[in-house]
Amino acid sequence: MDDIVRQAMAKWPHVPHCYGWLGLDARGNWRLRDEHIQALGPFDGKAAAARGTVLQHPGLIEFIGRNYTADASGCWYFQNGPQRVFVELQATPLVWRLQPDGTVHDHIGRAACVLHSLLDETGRLYLHTAAGLGLVHSQDMVLAAEWVQAGYWQPEAVQQADLPQRFGFVQSPQGLNQATKSP
């Protein structure tokens, strides 16, 4: 976490959390979701327009990545100064990119060692690492298939709907927050 973020947290400890305004899509893109976009539907739903605008600014993307983590309940967020900006997940909290040299990096660029792989009913490949569960980027599936055929990974069959509970992440912190406010 950036030092400036730690300082802001100490200076303003009671800033309310932010929900619904930031998403991570299945290709590892950060997406901004203003009120109009949020009104179009849930981030992980069928309406592509509800996912919002892909962030393009390299400095902002790097800042989010440096300050991206999960809380104890499995909700992923980035610490924006004193405010937690919770992230809506289209798939998983991490998106893996495979490198020709055999290494694996998440969408932020951090390297990881694969503990095991999983394949869901739709053909999506997931990698579990010490950093957490992530979806293999769609552009890397040819390389992933080669690694599976070579015996580096033996994917376990899994149901996509079971992943959040099994691996301890929340796809929609906004939905969880709204559910806890209901009478």
CATH class, range 3-91+169-181: alpha beta
Say what the pTM is: 0.88
Q: What is the pLDDT of residue 45?
A: 74
Q: What is the pLDDT of residues 41-86, one digit of tens each?
A: 888 877 888 899 999 999 999 999 999 999 999 999 999 888 899 9
Residue-by-residue DSSP string for 106-152: ETTS-EE-EEEEEEETTS-EEEEETTEEEEEPGGGHHHHHHHHHTTS
Positive or negative, the Cα torsion across 158, 138, 104, 4?
negative
Q: Return the ∠ at Cα 34 (arms to 179 and 55), rounded to 5°.
A: 115
Contact 91, 28 (CB under 8 A): no
**CATH 3.10.540 domain locations along the chain:** 3-91+169-181
